[in-house]
Structure 1
């Protein structure tokens, strides 16, 4: 009788044995919340929809993941908000160039609103629970609240879909009660709220700017789709009236 060799289990694939993306969230241990796709797409949506109704667009600036230098006495110190918006400064630096960073002692205007995207590695600092250690720069919360005195600070978690908003009152941030899942910002005639929909092909709950009344501020892509739909409805109506829209100049 011929004895067949024992069959060994097939080798495990790297997919089964090596760390996954959840185990390797960042290549920079000093910034455990970065990078990831959400930290690109969510600030981009905020950037595209930040259009204060009572400000000239040429005097509105917003940025994603841009160094924000805040201390004249320590000019190398900076924070890097996930997104921040400023009103009252030229869209271009000195009216002619894209910004490499935002330097408050040159711009002479502090941000009006800042948004941080919560992640497990950054939530202590983003929510003001991290304490400044002697000899180190102040925390983000201290910079936003006490140094720059940014009127609105917003924290959004994509893990829990929780939106937390803080308004500077008497020199300190106070939680703000949302109205229909929106933060009302009368100074800009805007509101910031949660919206379930598709952005860049991803359907989820997003944070985005709206009018003060709650209507969506459209992205350029959304405006193009809406214009196309209007054109198609008009063409259909003309055909109902016996007019061929293709023959119109």
Structure 2
């Protein structure tokens, strides 16, 4: 019999200090050109909805911070959604986010994996804190998404009893994300000069939240359909008018023939009223 040994999680003294102004954040470059596009494609369709964007922090490659045993730890998810957060009225612009002190914990964090991934699955908790450990045990983010853009594979983990558990998709292959009350899924196609797999949002009715260019195209098609409907209605009304005119013309002809016939009867000395 094989015995699985569970490594005990150390007791952590977690606090939530604001990031000092002189704290030097890691200046790690974005891993590839796809990541900013993927992040922007997730944010853009949310902007028309004030209920999703007001008092929210929707960022990518942005420092998420906490202190473990008085040492500040920062991780930069490839995409993060937090709502509500306290308004930022300082200069320079916000460069980090500390849950509990500046607002609630993120509703969801996401990592986009390249061919060679690093600490997205790491549960290291002593030397270099792993992202998995940080999101699960320290921040306790309710939803953790790992996406492989090259293959379209998506993994969604929900926090249950302090541990991440793989979330099953619905019958459409999508995952419900509480806090946004939207469904997250994979879509394949072209956008922003990139063709491939994308993460996208659907509402509870199964409607895809459109990108701006799709919205413009949908509005163009709606306007074109409305124009065609109006033209069809105009043609129908014109046909009705022509039919009415033709009917009136036929009726006038029948009246004229009737009057002519009556006149001939009278000329013949026949009273039409006596017939």
What TM-score comes out, normalization by structure 2 length? 0.66
Match of 2:187 among 172, 176, 195: 195
Match of 2:130 in 1: 139
Cross-structure match for 2:44: 48
Contact 1:52 1:189 in 2 (8 A): no
Cα deviation code 1:209-248 (max 9, x no counterpart): 21134321112222222112211222232233449xxxxx
Corresponding residue number in structure 2 for 1:6: none
Instruction: Note if contact 1:192-1:208 (Cα within 8 Å) is conserved in structure 2.
Output: yes
Unaligned 5+ segments in structure 1 are: 1-29, 244-249
Report Cα offsets for 1:197-216 as digits up to 9, x if no partner: 22213332211121134321
1:10-41: per-residue Cα shift (whole Å, max 9, x none)? xxxxxxxxxxxxxxxxxxxx96x833111111
1 or 2 for the larger relative contact order (CA 8 Å, sep ≥6)?
1
Alignment of 1:16-27 (within 5 A): none
The corresponding residue for 2:241 is: none
Aligned residue among 148, 151, 171 for 1:160 = 151
The C-alpha deviation readout for 1:33-60, integer Å capped at 9, x for no partner, is 8331111111111111347989453132
CA distance in structure 2 between the partners assigned to 1:85 and 1:143 by the alignment: 16
Q: Structure 2 matches for 1:179-190, cutoff 5 A?
A: 179=170, 180-190=172-182
Q: Which one has a bigger Cα radius of gyration?
A: 2
Aligned partner (choices 47, 57, 74) of residue 71 of structure 2: 74
Q: Which residue of structure 2 lines up, in the alignment, with residue 211 of structure 1? A: 203
Q: What runs of 5+ residues in structure 2 fail to find an aligned partner?
A: 1-26, 236-275
- Give 2:166's aligned residue: 175
Deviation track 1:113-151 (CA, whole Å, cap 9, x = no partner) reads 00101123325x2123x534x4x3421111100111000
Q: Distance in 2 between matches of 1:84 and 1:152?
A: 10
Q: Distance in 2 between matches of 1:88 and 1:164?
A: 25
| Larger helix share, 1 or 2 | 2
Aligned twin of 2:121: 127
Contact 2:141 2:159 in 1 (8 A): yes
Alpha-carbon RMSD across the aligned residues, in angstroms, is 2.9
Indicate the residue corresponding to 1:7 in structure 2.
none
State the distance in 2 between where 1:86 and 1:37 align.
24
SS of the counterpart of 1:238?
helix
Distance 1:35 1:140 in 2: 16
Please give the TM-score of this superposition, normalised by the length of structure 1.
Answer: 0.72
Identify which of 101, 108, 114 aligns with 2:109. Answer: 114
C-alpha spacing 1:86/1:228, structure 2 compared with 1 (3 Å)? same
